Amino acid sequence: MKVGEVFLPDDQDFKHFKNECTTDDGWTVCYDKSACRVATKKNTLSAFDVVRVQSEFNDISAELLYDVLHDSEFRATWDTAMLEGADICTVQPNSDIGYYSS
């Protein structure tokens, strides 16, 4: 993978992504309270760290949470830290690229 490279993810890419979400190898936990855990990881593709936020919500569906977080117009109405956000493109129905600035 290269910076700026966009490609259709395959099953191996999904397995790699799932592993990054579920294991702590290489991650540094910087916040772990209540039902929220934040970790960072260095990467070789850029000077930016990767940030992973894990949280558990028992009273809403995964679909609703996804919609609330990914709808940049609606998010602007409740996210006071958001400066701007936009959908850049849809790679596949379950894979998109977006922009968020706070």
| pLDDT, position 84 | 92
Indicate the residue type of 38.
V
Q: Is the per-residue pLDDT at 5 higher than 80?
A: no
Q: Average pLDDT, whole number, for the chain?
A: 88
E strand or H helix at 10:
none
pLDDT digits (tens, 9 = 90+) for 55-96: 988 899 989 998 888 888 899 999 999 999 988 888 877 778
Distance CA 59, CA 42 (A): 33
pTM attached to this predicted model: 0.69
Angle at the Cα of 78 from the Cα atoms of 52 and 70, rounded to 5 degrees: 50
Domain boundaries, the chain: 7-56, 60-101
Confidence of residue 2 (pLDDT cuts 50, 70, 90): low
For residue 76 the two structure tokens come to 């602007």
Q: Is the per-residue pLDDT at 52 higher than 90?
A: yes
Distance CA 86, CA 23 (A): 29
Q: Is the per-residue pLDDT at 1 higher than 80?
A: no
Confidence of residue 28 (pLDDT cuts 50, 70, 90): very high
Query: Which runs of E-coded beta strand occur in the chain?
Result: 28-33, 36-41, 50-55, 84-92, 95-101
